[in-house]
Structure 1
Amino acid sequence: MEDILMSLLRTFVSFIILSITTFLIGKQINTHNNHFTFAMSIIIGSFIANMGFDLKLKFLPMFASFAFLVAIHFLLASTALKSRRLRKWISGRPTVIMEKGKLLEANMKKVKYSIDDLNQHLRELGTFNIAEVEFAVLEVSGKLSVLKKTAYQNIAKQDVLSKPFKEMNLPVELLMDGEIIHKNLTSQYTEQWINLELSNRQLQLNQVLYAVVSTNGMLYVDEYKDQLSAPTDRE
């Protein structure tokens, strides 16, 4: 009877600890959107199960190890916010599967991704004809993101009023965390071009959080201070 009561008590306490931990860590731990959060969720689940049900293990040493694991997560997550290189190491990078309607076999082999996998994911996205796809990107979460060819995209009012369609391309990230991503620079998007675009917007490099050339060739710039007096969603 005593063992049953102790197991119930440990289960209850473990549930409270898990609830508080997932609240503090944030929403990303629930999405499994990269290798880091997936591994963390598995390890946290194992710790909580042992803390709750394995009476052979002492609760306090298990809790101390669990708290140390959570502290490591917070340290890495906080550091990754300031380091793009660490973010890439933790989260991984997306893989382009199709470019300009062509399959990239080398990339597919690299990530062990078959044509059957591609067709299944396309069907799940409502695309039954692979010929409609301009770009397909396998995200680090395992989900497939698709950009259809212009002829197969839904028409918006802007499309009707604008000039004839331009050739679509993948977005080109040029700035992140106030620093130029030099490997993405091209003969068209040079460092001088970036500085000129920022100058036209009366911005300095260190004022920009993120800048990317979108699929239609337009430059999107987001500042550190967006000057929104009343954001829609406050965390």
Structure 2
Amino acid sequence: MAEHYEVIIRSISAFIILLLGSRLLGKQTISQMNNFNFIAAISIGAITANLCFNTRVKIPDLILAYVIFILTVYFISYVSLKSRKARKFLAGNPTVVVQNGKILENNMKKMHYTIDYLNQQLREKDVFNINEVLFALLEPNGTISVVKKPQFRPVTIQDLHLKYTKEGMLPIELIMDGKIVDKNIIENGLSYSWLESEIQNRGLKISDIVYAVLLSDKELYIDCYNDYIHSPIDAE
């Protein structure tokens, strides 16, 4: 029974230090899995797993190993931030797999990259015909970047010579789970009276609202707890 309690304590400790480590290393390690980040994630996971279940190894020893590894990864990430050469050495360079509409088979062989996988990643970019591609680059994190030929690119406002406003803003969340987000109201120079007026004009109360956001076009979007949908779709 004592071993069960030890596993529980070790698992909680592992979760806490893993959370702290991920916060220290930043979002890039989580989101962009290049070679360096992949090795770091695997190693950190192995140390954390041992902390949870390997009761033969003392907790302080594993925590020390974890801290040393996290600090090493953090230091290397810092060096990469300051040095482009270090960044390229650790993460690698993008590889051109399509140039001027032609597939570069030699580059693909070097990366062990197949035509099937190229087509799959192009479809993920909404490119179903390879003749639409002008350039395609395989990024260090395994994703593909695509430049379409001019005739296949979507029309823009600039192409149509239409007037547009250059200034924009990020959406501002005003209500979350029936509560006003005071910080966003104050920081963006909005007023409570304006928000209450907008809500009353729609015949609602703040407690009725699960989510309200001021969109980039300055339109207020509101979603209520009761959506009045008689047959909501619940299939996954």
Q: What SS is found at the alignment partner of 2:5?
A: helix
CA distance in 2, matches of 1:141, 1:83: 19
How far does residue 29 in structure 1 lie from its aligned partner after superposition?
A: 1.8
How far does residue 65 in structure 1 lie from its aligned partner after superposition?
A: 1.1
Q: Which runs of 5+ in 1 are unaligned?
A: 163-229, 231-235
C-alpha deviations, 1:156-195, integer Å up to 9, x for none? 0212339xxxxxxxxxxxxxxxxxxxxxxxxxxxxxxxxx
Q: What SS is found at the alignment partner of 2:69?
A: helix
Aligned to 1:180: none
CA distance in 2, matches of 1:154, 1:33: 30
Alignment of 1:60 with 2:60, yes or no, is yes
CA distance in 1, matches of 2:69, 2:94: 27
Alignment of 1:131 with 2:131, yes or no, is yes
- 1:22-37 matches, within 5 Å, as 22-37=22-37
Aligned letter for 2:135? F
Q: What SS is found at the alignment partner of 2:160?
A: helix
The Cα RMSD (Å) is: 1.5
Q: Which runs of 5+ in 2 are unaligned?
A: 163-187, 189-236
Aligned length: 163
C-alpha deviations, 1:20-49, integer Å up to 9, x for none? 111111101211431111111111111111
How far does residue 10 in structure 1 lie from its aligned partner after superposition?
A: 0.8
CA distance in 2, matches of 1:15, 1:121: 34
Aligned to 1:75: 75
Aligned letter for 1:95? T
Aligned letter for 1:154? P
Aligned to 1:100: 100
CA distance in 2, matches of 1:110, 1:161: 44
How far does residue 111 in structure 1 lie from its aligned partner after superposition?
A: 0.5
C-alpha deviations, 1:184-231, integer Å up to 9, x for none? xxxxxxxxxxxxxxxxxxxxxxxxxxxxxxxxxxxxxxxxxxxxxx9x
Aligned to 2:225: none
CA distance in 2, matches of 1:2, 1:137: 55
Aligned to 1:166: none
Aligned to 1:159: 159
Segments of 4+ moved more than 6 angstroms: none
CA distance in 2, matches of 1:89, 1:159: 40
Q: What SS is found at the alignment partner of 1:81?
A: helix
Instruction: Report sequence identity in percent.
Output: 39
Aligned letter for 1:148? K
TM-score (norm 2): 0.66
CA distance in 1, matches of 2:17, 2:74: 16
CA distance in 1, matches of 2:75, 2:120: 38
